[in-house]
Chains A and B, each alone.
Chain A
Amino acid sequence: MYNIDFSVGIGGAAGQGVATPGNILTKLFARRGLHINAYNAYQSIIRGGHTFLTVRTSDKPVRCMGDALDMLIPLNQDTMDRHLGRMRPGSVVLYDGDKLKPTAPASGVQLCPLPLGELAKNVLYYNTAAVAAVLRLVGVRLEPFEKMLVQQFERKGETVVAENLAAARAGYDYAGARFKRYPFSLPDTGKRLAVATGNESLAMGGVAAGVKFYCAYPMSPSTGVLMWMARHARQLGIMVRQVEDELGVINMAIGAAHTGCRAMCATSGGGFALMTEALGAAAMMEIPVVCIDVQRAGPATGVPTKTEQGDLWQVLGAGQGDYPRVIAAPTSIRDCFHLIPEIFNLADKFQCPGIVLADLLESEGFSSFEPSELDFNPPRDRGELIGVSGDAPDANGGYKRYRMTESGIAPRAVPGTPGHAHVVATDEHDEDGVLISDEFTDPHKRQAIMERRGRKMDGVLPLLDPPSFTGPGDAEVTLLGWGSTDGVIEEAVEQLAEQGIAANHLQVRWLVPLQSEQIRKALSGARNLVIVENNYSGQFARYLRSETGIAADAHIRKYDGEPFLPHHLTDGVKKILAGRTNKYVPVHEIRV
């Protein structure tokens, strides 16, 4: 164990290339087997504004961006001014000494001005020199970076390669000569880790599920799924379409799903609002389709580039009428990959829509993965499906699509299958698909059909893994979160333990059906139940109370567009335990 935990923040105006050094460092770290968690705070602007990328790395898994930075790389004066005061003793600020001036530095912070104009021949190589300087300060050899530069610029000719290498060497040597390096070196664990964003993770999860049809309308922060899918469509044999609106998106996905494809779409809250009627339609026709809502700060257009967990009640109430569906919230960027095949199996088996409630924190952040965990052929269960492999059992004319079965599930034949022609309808319909809504509305039939569709869901709960419950049973405080807050709560629990406060942690992943019994059991010994969520009104707290009767003792909520940092939770818990509040709303320290 090396016990390395290193965070670097890179900030500038949009269009200044914040991503480039961030991506290079991430790649170099992950190739040493170091874990990564990164979060990009940005705005809905193509040029200007303030974007700030935090990359945290460690030899142990890192599941949130942490509390403080060890290094700041401001690309403009604005970033310097906003973040310098937050730097802690022992940290480093690395910047273009020709351009930027530090304002009132915090004590113990090492200021490292780089004369980039001297080190690099061309402004295009400034990033190269700066990244090399970072590597010197964290005790990493230059060779892997040099190799990367050669690979990247080979196509541009020898001169470009040589000038990049020269800039790297100059930055590396300058930092070595002038600045004090950290008291540790970033180790090389000897293995390589993969790095992906949450959107890429969702898209790859679709691939692992066997998705053959993906469609979307561009909407931040879910557009990355569309772009990944479009880029890989031909390689993987996936039909990818950009559609005129989200009404079209979900209905197109339903059409493809009806023919037997696994079909998926992703959007954010606004697009999801347009899709809601069709989700009920999928449930009524009993067509499995998976829809991802990558939440951003609402309502309406809201804050398109900021995170929130504000769509829970929207997805719970999506669409008119009572209908079966499964809803889950991935608990990390990595879980985005694993959840998609799982929810497809349920959607297929129970012939209903599956809704995934991710958020911007996951979708636009990135995380390391063990390459072995990226299993692209996980178990797949298509349920009772007739005709997708090209053959079909003889129905003798007796096929009934919506046969009354004990489980509520009736075998689904796909169009094109001989002997199984039938109609699926969004109007209420009989066992053989004939409408009961128009000429004769038969109340007895309607009741039986509602009960058949409803009881399908009885089969879901036994198939779900229990929610994750960690920490001592007799803890002083129980932190309950759902979806993307898993990592930050886990870290807060560790911090609390260090400060002598025993906490445990329940994280909910399956929202519908809610695992009420398991939740009740986990919370039965809770002395102080605190619900943590990234929204204003405590949407999960209200949902939990309505489903289980359990009311939390206190709440920690954040609705400023930025995710929780661990100390937001520890501060809140301490105030709550001291009896000073039962609803703590942390103030985000930096305006990004």
Chain B
Amino acid sequence: MGELQTETRTQIVSKPREPQLTVKDFKGKADPDWCPGCGDFGVLNALKTAVAELGLLPHEVLTISGIGCSSNLPGYINTYGMHTLHGRALAVATGAQLGNHQLKVVVTGGDGDGFGIGGNHFVHSMRRNVDLTYIVMDNQIYGLTTGQVSPTSRKGMKTKSTPFGSVENAINPIPLALACGATYVARGFSGQQKHLVALIKGAIVHRGFAFVDVFSPCVTYNHENTHEFFKQRTRKLEESGHDPGNLQAAFEQGSQWGETIPIGLFYKRDGVPALDELEPVLAEGPALAHRRLEVSPENARALVEELL
């Protein structure tokens, strides 16, 4: 068996590879157990297409999720995968990315997982600009627990846990991500495959925290935010002349919610060092995981000397 791939993400950006595998090669060991018509199928397909088109190989990618319908995704894609605890995917992913910064770490999950129980990690992963791609399959509902209110459920929405309508405001993840320092902020719609593939490819190639919020309708428990709902309202930013380098404009577009809901790349800032680039411990040598455990005689002597 050959050497491990040691190309960094930066190198892949500068030297795009020819695709070596097809989408089919990224099919996981299990078939999705999602309801027929679930938006998550579109997200899974877009992610597999993106990694195939980028010329990535299964062992170079680590897909990490939390818990929820959408968090089952790592089982359906042929990469390294971690299906972790509810809300903790970003924390695990940060450790994995720093442990082996040569991996392409993709985090997938739902709105409850990411913005509810995992909200703290979401905020801090972005301010740290960890080199991760974070794809949220946002269906504005808790699906796996059979239909309770989520942090992105509309105020007033009737769910099984808010039978008289939610009285709480919803989170808008786009301005939240912008305020927290994410350096790639996008929104897609599972019903717009090509557009979504492009957003995910951009996110994977981006050096730093890339956030892609994806409208991924729940056909079983959310009868409000349906496929049709988003089809009628979503408008591509790319067609409206939006400048993703303009943070102010990104806030304005990201705050729109109504008859028109923008999707596309809100914001992208290159050249901001990612956490692993800022950490001198990683400046030289192989990934932490591949380093020898021995303590050098000089260091061992110095540590004892300090105590004398």
Interface residues of A (CB under 8 A from B): 30-31, 192-196, 200, 204, 207-210, 212-213, 215, 232-239, 241, 243-245, 247-249, 251-263, 277-278, 281, 285, 369, 371, 374, 376-377, 380, 387-394, 414-427, 432-435, 438-439
A255→B304 CA distance, assembly (Å)? 31
A278→B28 CA distance, assembly (Å)? 25
Contacts of B302 in A (CB 8 A): 235
Known: A204-B303, A418-B2. 8 other contacts (CB 8 A): A210-B294, A232-B303, A248-B91, A258-B92, A376-B300, A416-B5, A418-B1, A423-B75
Contacts of A257 in B (CB 8 A): 95, 99
Contacts of A374 in B (CB 8 A): 300, 303-304, 307
Contacts of B80 in A (CB 8 A): 415-416, 421-423
Contacts of B290 in A (CB 8 A): 260, 388-390
Q: Which of B87, B98, B102, B299 contacts A239 (CB 8 A)?
A: B98
Would B295 and A236 count as touching, CB distance under 8 A? yes
Contacts of A254 in B (CB 8 A): 84, 92, 95
> If A256-B288, A390-B286, A434-B75 touch, does A376 touch B1 (CB 8 Å cutoff)?
no
A528→B282 CA distance, assembly (Å)? 58
Contacts of A255 in B (CB 8 A): 64, 82, 91-99
Q: Which residue of A lies closest to B87 (CB)?
A: A247
Contacts of B304 in A (CB 8 A): 194, 371, 374
Contacts of B62 in A (CB 8 A): 415-416
Q: In the complex, what's the smallest C-beta–C-beta distance from B261 to chain A, in angstroms?
A: 31
Q: Does B29 contact A (CB under 8 A)?
A: yes
Q: Which residue of B lies closest to A395 (CB)?
A: B1
Would B308 and A421 count as touching, CB distance under 8 A? no
Q: Which residue of B lies closest to A192 (CB)?
A: B308
A421→B56 CA distance, assembly (Å)? 13
Q: Which of A285, A377, A427 contacts B295 (CB 8 A)?
A: A377
Q: Which of A237, A251, A387, A416 contacts B291 (CB 8 A)?
A: A237
Q: Does B273 contact A (CB under 8 A)?
A: no
Return 19 A-B CB contacts under 8 Å, by A number: A193-B308, A207-B303, A210-B293, A237-B285, A241-B98, A247-B88, A247-B120, A248-B121, A251-B91, A254-B84, A254-B92, A369-B307, A391-B3, A416-B4, A416-B59, A425-B74, A433-B29, A434-B30, A435-B75
A119→B121 CA distance, assembly (Å)? 57
Q: In the complex, what's the smallest C-beta–C-beta distance from A436 to chain B, in angstroms?
A: 10
Q: Which residue of A lies closest to B127 (CB)?
A: A244
Would B3 and A390 count as touching, CB distance under 8 A? yes
Contacts of A241 in B (CB 8 A): 94, 98
Q: Does B124 contact A (CB under 8 A)?
A: yes
Residues in B66-83 with C-beta less than 8 Å from chain A: 67, 72, 74-75, 78-83
Would A256 and B91 count as touching, CB distance under 8 A? no
A194→B308 CA distance, assembly (Å)? 4
Q: Does B259 contact A (CB under 8 A)?
A: no
Q: Which of B29, B75, B78, B99 contacts A256 (CB 8 A)?
A: B99
Would B33 and A438 count as touching, CB distance under 8 A? yes
Q: Does B212 contact A (CB under 8 A)?
A: no
Q: Which residue of B lies closest to A248 (CB)?
A: B91
Q: In the complex, what's the smallest C-beta–C-beta distance from A176 to chain B, in angstroms?
A: 28
Would B33 and A439 count as touching, CB distance under 8 A? yes
Would A251 and B92 count as touching, CB distance under 8 A? yes
Would B79 and A421 count as touching, CB distance under 8 A? yes
> If A416-B103, A439-B33 touch, does A259 touch B96 (CB 8 Å cutoff)?
yes
Contacts of A193 in B (CB 8 A): 308
Would A251 and B88 count as touching, CB distance under 8 A? yes
Contacts of B249 in A (CB 8 A): none
Q: Does B289 contact A (CB under 8 A)?
A: yes
Chain B residues with a Cβ closer than 8 Å to the other chain, count: 66
Contacts of B255 in A (CB 8 A): none
Contacts of A424 in B (CB 8 A): 81-83
Q: Which residue of B lies closest to A193 (CB)?
A: B308
Contacts of A277 in B (CB 8 A): 85
Would A416 and B100 count as touching, CB distance under 8 A? yes
A261→B99 CA distance, assembly (Å)? 6
Q: In the complex, what's the smallest C-beta–C-beta distance from B23 to chain A, in angstroms?
A: 16
**0/1 interface trace, chain B 266-304, chain A, CB 8 Å (1 if under):** 000000000000011110011111110111000110111
Contacts of B1 in A (CB 8 A): 391-394, 418-419
Would B308 and A30 count as touching, CB distance under 8 A? yes
> If A414-B289, A416-B5, A435-B72 touch, does A248 touch B98 (CB 8 Å cutoff)?
no
Q: Does B53 contact A (CB under 8 A)?
A: no
Would B57 and A418 count as touching, CB distance under 8 A? yes
A259→B88 CA distance, assembly (Å)? 17
Contacts of B293 in A (CB 8 A): 209-210, 212, 262, 380
Q: Which of A238, A262, A418, A438 contacts B4 (CB 8 A)?
A: A418
Would A420 and B59 count as touching, CB distance under 8 A? yes
Q: Does B175 contact A (CB under 8 A)?
A: no
Q: Which of B4, B33, B93 contacts A417 (CB 8 A)?
A: B4
Q: Does B243 contact A (CB under 8 A)?
A: no
Q: Which residue of B lies closest to A438 (CB)?
A: B33
Would A415 and B75 count as touching, CB distance under 8 A? no
A528→B4 CA distance, assembly (Å)? 62
Which of A232, A247, A257, A261 has the largest count of B CB atoms less than 10 A from its CB?
A261
Q: In the complex, what's the smallest C-beta–C-beta distance from B277 to chain A, in angstroms?
A: 13
Would A259 and B92 count as touching, CB distance under 8 A? no
Would B295 and A208 count as touching, CB distance under 8 A? yes
Q: Does B60 contact A (CB under 8 A)?
A: yes
Which of A195, A255, A433 has the largest count of B CB atoms less than 10 A from its CB?
A255
Q: Which residue of A lies closest to B29 (CB)?
A: A434
A471→B103 CA distance, assembly (Å)? 56
A399→B26 CA distance, assembly (Å)? 17
Contacts of B3 in A (CB 8 A): 390-391
Which of A207, A415, A419 has the largest count of B CB atoms less than 10 A from its CB?
A415
Would B92 and A426 count as touching, CB distance under 8 A? no
Contacts of A258 in B (CB 8 A): 82, 92, 95-96, 99
Contacts of A439 in B (CB 8 A): 33
Contacts of A377 in B (CB 8 A): 294-295, 300
Q: In the complex, what's the smallest C-beta–C-beta distance from A253 to chain B, in angstroms?
A: 6
> If A247-B91, A416-B100 touch, does A421 touch B59 (CB 8 Å cutoff)?
yes
A414→B28 CA distance, assembly (Å)? 18
Q: In the complex, what's the smallest C-beta–C-beta distance from A317 to chain B, in angstroms?
A: 18
A243→B123 CA distance, assembly (Å)? 12
Q: Which residue of A lies closest to B63 (CB)?
A: A423
